[in-house]
Each structure stands twice: as C-alpha cells, then as structure tokens.
Amino acid sequence: MDEKLSREHEMILDAVRYWVKKQCPRTETMAWDESNQLPPEILSKFKELDLWAMGVDEQFGGTGRDWLGITLVVETLAEMEPVLAGLYATDMWGAATIAAMGTEEQKASFLPQLTEGKLPLARVKPSQPLEETIQFRQGQSGWILNGACKQVDFAQQAQMLVVQATAENNPDLTSQFLLSPSSEGVEISPLETLGYRSAGSCSIELHDVYLSLEAILGQVEKINPMAAALAQGAWNLLMAAQATGMAQGAMAYALEHAKGRVQFNQPIGNFPAIREKLTELSVMIRASRLMVRTAAALADAGQKYHAEAAQALLMASSTAEKAGLEGIQILGGYGYSLEYDAQRYFRNAMQLVCSGVEKSSLYATIGKSMGLTP
Amino acid sequence: MSSGLSREQNGFREKVRSFVEREVSDARAAEMDRTDEFPHDIMHKMAQYGLTAVNVPIQYGGEGGGDLEVMILCEELSRQSPALSWTLGNVILYGNNIIGVNGSETQRERFLPLLAKGQLYFSFGLTEPNAGSDAANIDTYAEKQENGPWIVNGGKTFITGGTVANYVVTFARTAPSRYKGISAFLVDTLDKGFSYSKIPKLGFRGSDTATLYFDKVTVPEDMILGGPEGLNQGWGQMVRLLNGERLSLAACSLGIAQAAFDAAINHVRQLPPPAIAGSRQSVEHRLAEMAAQLEAARALAYRTAWMHTNKMECVRETSMSKFFCSETAKQIAAGTMAVMGPDGCDMALAAQRRLRDVLILSIGGGTSQIQKNIVAKTLGL
Ligand SMILES: Cc1cc2nc3c(=O)[nH]c(=O)nc-3n(C[C@H](O)[C@H](O)[C@H](O)COP(=O)(O)OP(=O)(O)OC[C@H]3O[C@@H](n4cnc5c(N)ncnc54)[C@H](O)[C@@H]3O)c2cc1C
C-alpha cells in the first residue's frame, strides 16, 4: 500500500523524511533524550513545515483534515523522534476532537490557533490500569472537576488541557472539558518517565476546579453519549501510527547493526535466529502500517473506523514492544550500552505500551464490533 | 519453593533475606540505579556478614559452600537489587570461583583468604570488540620475555567491575591454536600500562562495566592462572566455570522475576474491588500465567543445580536454565509493567528498573541464541 499513496501524500512523506534527516540526526535525538528536553528551536523549525493545517478544515484556516496524511507524518517522525511525533499527534487529536464535538463558538475560537500550531494541548485521561477517575458535576454557574491523572504527556508546555471526566452521578456519562493549566485547583507536578523523556510529562490533580459552562466540549444541555468513544478512536489511530514508526525505527537500527557486526566470520544477520527476528518484525511492521492506513482511509471517507483503529493499535503496540526488546537482543552487549540507540527505542516503546495502550478497552471496542458485549 | 534444598541451604536463604531487608532499602536500591556508583558501603557490610566467604573452602577461611549457595545468594539479592549480585560476583564468582577451581596452590593460599574477607575484587576479562559470542576470537595477546615475565597487549570490553578490580583475569592469546592457544593472566590493575573507561548502561547500574586497555602490561609467570602450568589452558579453565556462572545468572533472573511478579500482585490487590464481578479476568489470567512460568523456571534451575552439585553431566540443562529463566523473567517483568500501566514506567518505582535489569541476562554469559546452539548440539543436532 506504500506504493499506492497519492502524489500529495508522497510529497508530504518526502518532505518530512528530508526534514528529519536534516534536523534530527541520531546524535541530537539521543542528546535531547538524555537532557529530558526537546529544544525549542527544533519545535519552531518543525512548525515551519506547516503540517498542523492538515488537522483542520478549510473554514478554520486548515487544508481539510487528512487522517492518512497525519498518520504518515506521525509514523515518519516516530521512526527517529517519537516525542515530536507524540506532540504533533496530540494537537491533531485535539483538533479532530474539537471539530467532532465542539460548538461553533469553540471551533471558531480554537481551531484557527491549532491550525498554526499555536495552541499546544495535553490530553488528560484517567488511566484504566490505575483505575483512576476524574469526575464532574454541575454547580450553580458551571462545572466542578475533581480527580487525578498520574501521567499527562506534554503537560509542561501545554496551554490547554483536554480533560476526560465522568459524571459523578452517572458512570456512563463521559465528556471532555477544555481548561487552562493555570486554572485554580489544578496541581501539576513533573513526572520522570522511562521513555518519551523529553515530553514534559506531569502528574495532574484536580481539586474542586470550577469551570464555566462553556468549558465542556459540545452542548451544555446535551452531553454527547459518544464523547469518550469519539475521542478514543482518534487517539488510538494516532498511537498506532506512532507505534508503527517506532517499531520501524528500532528494526532498521538493529538491521543495520546485524549487517555490519561480524561474529564467527559472518555478519550476525546471516544467522537464522537473527534473520528471523528481523524478518518477523518486518512482517509485523508492514501489517501494522497497512492497518493504520486502512483505519485512516476509513476515517477520511467519513466511515466508522474505531474498531479498525483499535485493531491497528493492538498490532502496532505489540510490534513496537517486540522491536524494542529484540533490538537490544540483536545488538547484544551494545544494545545494553547507553552509547547506542537501541535502548532509547526500547524505553520509548515500553512507555507507549504502559501509558498509551489500554488493552482491555481495545478488546472491548473490537469485540463490540463483532457483537460481543463488553 | 525451596524443595530439594537442605536445611542449611534454606537457613542460608533466610539469612541473606534478612540481610537484604536490613541493609538494602528500596531507596538505596533506587539510588544505586540512579547514580550508577559501585556500592562500596554495601560490599563492606556483605563482607562483614560473611557473604563474600560463602564459597571459599573452609581451609582458606571460607564457609565451604558451593554453586548452590551462590545461586541462593544471587536470587535473593536480585529480588531487591540485581546489581548487588554482580558486585558481589566480583568476589565470589570471578575471585573465589576462578581461583578456587583453577588457581595453583600458591594462588589459592595467597588470594582466597583475602577474598573471603572481601578485601579483593576480581574481574573476568574475556570479551573484546571482535570477540563477543565468538569468545575464542580474541586478539589480546601476551609475549614472553627472555627468561622473564609476560607482556600483555590489547583490550577488553564490557568487563564487570573493571573499574574496581584489583586483578583482572585476562584471557590472552599465547599460541596460534584457536582454543589451545589461550592463557588466563592475573593482571594487577595497579601495574603500568593498564587503564579503563566506564561504560554507561541501561540496567545493572552500580555494577560497573568497563572497557579495559592493556598497553604492554608486565605479568610475572606465576601470575598465569594455575601457575606456569596454566599456559595455554585458559579456554579449558573457563569452560570449567561455565555451569556455575550460568546457574548463578539464571538465579538472578529468578530473583528479578519473583520481585516483578510480587509487584504485579500487589498492584492488583490494592485496586478497589471490581465494579462488575469477573471484569478483571484478563489481568488475573495474566498473573496466573506468570505464576506458572515462574514456578517452571525455578524448578528447572534448581533441578539443574542439584544435578550440578551431584556431579552429573548437565551442560544441556544449564544452558536451558540460562535462556529459559532469562527469557521468562523478561516476559514477567514486561508483563508486570503493562499490568501497572503508567506506574510501570514511573522512574520513581521499581517496575521499570526490573525490566532494564533483566535484559542483560539474555545477553551476558552467553546469549540466549548461543545457549540454544549448545542445547541443540547436546541433542545431537
Ligand atoms: C553489562 C555487561 C556485563 C558484561 N560482563 C562481562 C564480563 O564481566 N566479562 C566478559 O568477558 N564479558 C562480559 N560481558 C560481555 C558479554 O558476555 C557479551 O556481551 C556477550 O557474550 C555477547 O557478545 P556481544 O555483545 O559481542 O554480542 P554479539 O556476539 O555481537 O551478538 C549479537 C547478537 O548476535 C547473536 N549471535 C551471535 N552469534 C550467533 C550465532 N552463532 N547464532 C545465532 N545468533 C548469534 C547473539 O545472540 C546476539 O543476539 C558483559 C556484557 C554486558 C553488556
């Protein structure tokens, strides 16, 4: 399916590849990881590519949302610098979520800024493995939010938080709220993580955070019952693209090593054990990529894609985990050394698996599409 | 859990466990990981507690234990801080074992009493840039001076404890034959021409790993391992140690896996009761699988240890234990992280460290692929 990309998509892909090659050499990305910081210059240079417009419709200044284009960008960035991929993906997710659920006023006020990459977002979603909750209730003149979320990526630089909360009196009613990180009652503390180290991750606590009625994404009177599913579908698709790119990056790195490293008078890639690890990964990566593109194409055609996105993420995340782990094994002792990059792929992949993938909810989504009630 | 172990051995396990509880807090284990500094303080306490003497024969001031006690020690230390089993390894594996098994009588008398007291560190210097899995491919060489000492030239890499060792058991080429042209020299690290640089690494931090340089280092003839008769015997001497070393590495895997499993269980236990009965089935089944995997791995490793202790042929079982325990532990450590979600990747918690730590155990001491090659060979393939 790579072969069948449109000319425009080929051009986007080429531009991003060229940019990554030029601006994100491996020595630099390793240094960013070590210093826990993505340099602001890189971000501004990245914005010059004007890729944010792909996430927003023309009436708000964008070029019309293009899921296939977005996932191509995310995947390509993740091959070398998953943090940048995650940052871009978070904004694209926010733009899609606001476009899908927001009121006209919300769209008009946020989407033009998002088009220009000027409204950095962070997604606050309670973790399922930790069984976290964030709850909302309606007060006299607005909403009151309470709860906590252990890990929120990009929270340090975000100007707006998109918070998923559940009604205090109705666990089946979930909505998204837009709020400033400096709102009263929002406590943000930095979190040191295994991977995505330069993502400015934080833990967030919400203590009686008062919000105006308009802070809810969508109509106040009629909370969208599909809000959680809509948000999660887009998120899963973007995570799957990240995982696919990461797996590709890890595999390509190990492949290069396997071709050059000689033991027992031959490149280790010649040994069936190593060759099979690499080839199996290449198969899984291809499957992941095709699944991402299928889901993206469905989304672009305005069709249901949530089950497909969940399938893609299930596949791509286990591929990324495997690629991270096998990458180290293929490099042997060098895989364990911080002077080589296999360990960064491994750490980023585990981070994605632990904090970005909630398997039971993926199984529920896919199962539902097959007629199995969760 | 301890079936097949003697009362003394179970008692020893309890003794190690109480030492760890008392002396190695969670915070201390985390600090070692963060700073990556060799834990001289804990090593000192381990020596005082007699742990450095565990496998030194009684006549040299030791406790007279063997590879099984070393396994127990590695397993228990690894539950809390795997790196400690390697820092201790610089005494009990690369000192006590190498000298005890292969040393000349003079060498034993000279080194074992000091090792037993924890006053000397040894490193095992085999791996080189061109000789990893293909360990016999070493380029480091030694030349004999006319009627005098040997001069060692070359380099080693990934050497555990290379920054702290008093002696490096250095494998060097002394004749052209691939296996029968290798000798092991006890290189004094204070000697001129020896230097090192530390390698920063993903896990087992605190146990230093180093690249070593030998620039015309002079070694007297009686510092060939086994004495002058040890010339060209290096490969055979190494092979004699393999079963013990591989079993102790398998034990490190078991300790890490046990700790990971305990953490997964604790994580699930502290969650509020599930809203819908049975809704946690997938996590519960994953834990059930882990429990079974761990039991199987431990049974294999300790049965092999029993064979080894009873001097039965167990090369195959040792290699099986080495790769099975490390690969299983890897799965358990990764599975635990997934069960714990964001807690699994929090650098302030130990779950992520266990996976970082365990990854070396399918590489060091012969990779899983090399162990499978050995097993296949013993199966007559
Ligand atoms: C933290 C650490 C501590 C260490 N401590 C010591 C020490 O104290 N002393 C010491 O001497 N060494 C030590 N080592 C070195 C260790 O033993 C080697 O890293 C290990 O033997 C693998 O060699 P390599 O790293 O060169 O990998 P390689 O040999 O390059 O292997 C790379 C990959 O190729 C595979 N491969 C190689 N050959 C084959 C084959 N024939 N068939 C199938 N697959 C194959 C391997 O399984 C691996 O997946 C240490 C290493 C580390 C990282």
The answer, as to whether pTM is greater than 0.95, is yes
Residue A3: pLDDT over 60? no
CB contact under 8 A, B282 and A359: yes
* CA-atom Rg of chain A in angstroms: 21
Chain A residue with the nearest C-alpha to that of B360: A336
Q: Above pLDDT 90, what percent of chain B?
A: 94
Is A271 touching ligand 1 by the criterion CB < 6 Å? Answer: yes
Confidence of residue A374 (pLDDT cuts 50, 70, 90): low
Give the residue from chain A lying closest to B358, CA to CA.
A336
Same domain membership, residue A315 and residue A181: no
Instruction: Point out the residue among B132, B282, B369 whose CB comes nearest to the CB of A360.
Output: B282
Assess whether A234 and A352 both reside in one domain: yes
Q: What is the pLDDT of residues A214-260, one digit of tens each?
A: 999 998 888 888 888 889 999 999 999 999 999 999 999 999 999 99
CATH number of the CATH domain containing B332? 1.20.140.10
Give CA–CA dist A182/A189, Å, rounded: 13
Q: Residue B1: its pLDDT value, please? A: 42
Of A191, A222, A253, the position where a domain reaches its end is A222
A329 lines ligand 1 (CB under 6 A): yes
Same domain, B224 and B316: no
Quick one: pLDDT band at residue A319, thresholds 50, 70, 90? Answer: very high
B249 has pLDDT over 90? yes
Structure tokens at B47: 């020596």
pLDDT digits (tens, 9 = 90+) for B178-216: 999 999 999 999 999 999 999 999 999 999 999 999 999
Q: Is the CB of B127 under 6 A from ligand 1?
A: yes
Q: Cβ–Cβ of B272/A131 closer than 8 Å?
A: yes
CB contact B352 to A (< 8 Å): yes
Tell me, using a 6 A CB cutoff, whether residue A261 lines ligand 1: yes
CA distances for B49 relative to A89, B111, B116, B368, angstroms: 55, 19, 11, 34
Residue nearest to atom 17 of ligand 1 (CA): B364
Judge if A43 and A100 occupy the same domain. Answer: yes
CATH of the domain at A94: 1.10.540.10
| Partner residue facing B343 (CB), from A128, A130, A268 | A130
Q: Ligand 1 pocket, B323 CB below 6 A? A: no
Residue-wise over B305-334: b if at least 16 C-beta within 10 A, else e?
beebbeeeebbbbbbbbbbbbbbbbbbbbb
| Ligand 1 centroid to residue B56 C-alpha, Å | 29
Residue A88 shares a structural domain with residue A148 = no
CA distance A168 to chain B (A): 15
Kindly state whether residue A110 falls inside one of the protein's structural domains: yes
pLDDT exceeds 50 at position B248? yes
Q: Residue A184 is part of which domain span?
A: 122-222
Contact B345 A194 (CB under 8 A): yes
Distance A333 CA to ligand 1 centre (A): 5
Q: Which of A:228-287 have CB within 8 Å of B? A: 262-264, 268, 271, 273-274
Could you report the per-residue pLDDT of B62-86, keeping only the tens digit for each?
999 999 999 999 999 999 999 999 9
Closest residue in chain B to residue A131, using alpha carbons only: B271
Output the CA angle B353-B354-B357, nearest 5 degrees.
85
The total of structural domains in chain A comes to 3
Q: Over 80: is that where the pLDDT of B2 sits? A: no
A95 and A143 in a single domain? The answer is: no
Nearest atom in ligand 1 to A274's CA: 44
**Residue owning tokens 């080693």:** B156
Q: State whether A101 and A134 are in the same domain.
A: no
Residue of B nearest to A345 (CA): B202
**How far is B111 from B307, CA to CA, in rounded Å?**
29
Selection from A195, A131, A238 nearest residue B339 by Cα: A131
Binding-face residues of A in 135-164 toward B, CB within 8 A: 150-151
For residue B100, tell me if it sits in a domain: yes
Inside any domain, residue A190: yes
Report yes or no on A132 lying in a domain: yes
Q: What pLDDT score was predicted for residue A269?
A: 98
A2 found inside a domain:
no
Cα–chain-centroid distance for residue A347? 15
Which residue is closest to A321 within chain B, CA to CA? B334
Residue B39 belongs to what domain range?
Answer: 7-120
Q: Give residue-wise pLDDT tens across range A104-116.
A: 999 999 999 999 9
Two structure tokens written together for A30: 């390793």
A312 lines ligand 1 (CB under 6 A): no
B266 and B208 inside one domain? no
Domain count, chain B: 3
Residues B373 and B243 in one domain: yes
Q: What is the CATH number of the domain that holds B207?
A: 2.40.110.10
Q: Is the CB of B150 under 6 A from ligand 1?
A: no
B132 ligand 1 Cβ < 6 A: yes
Query: Do A81 and A50 share a structural domain?
Result: yes
ipTM exceeding 0.85, yes/no: yes
Domain assignment present for B249: yes
Instruction: Tell me if B2 is assigned to some domain.
Output: no
Q: Is B203 on the interface with A (CB under 8 A)?
A: yes
Q: What's the mean pLDDT when you consider all of chain A?
A: 96
Report if residue A374 sits inside a domain: no
Q: Does residue B171 contact residue B125 with C-beta atoms inside 8 Å?
A: yes
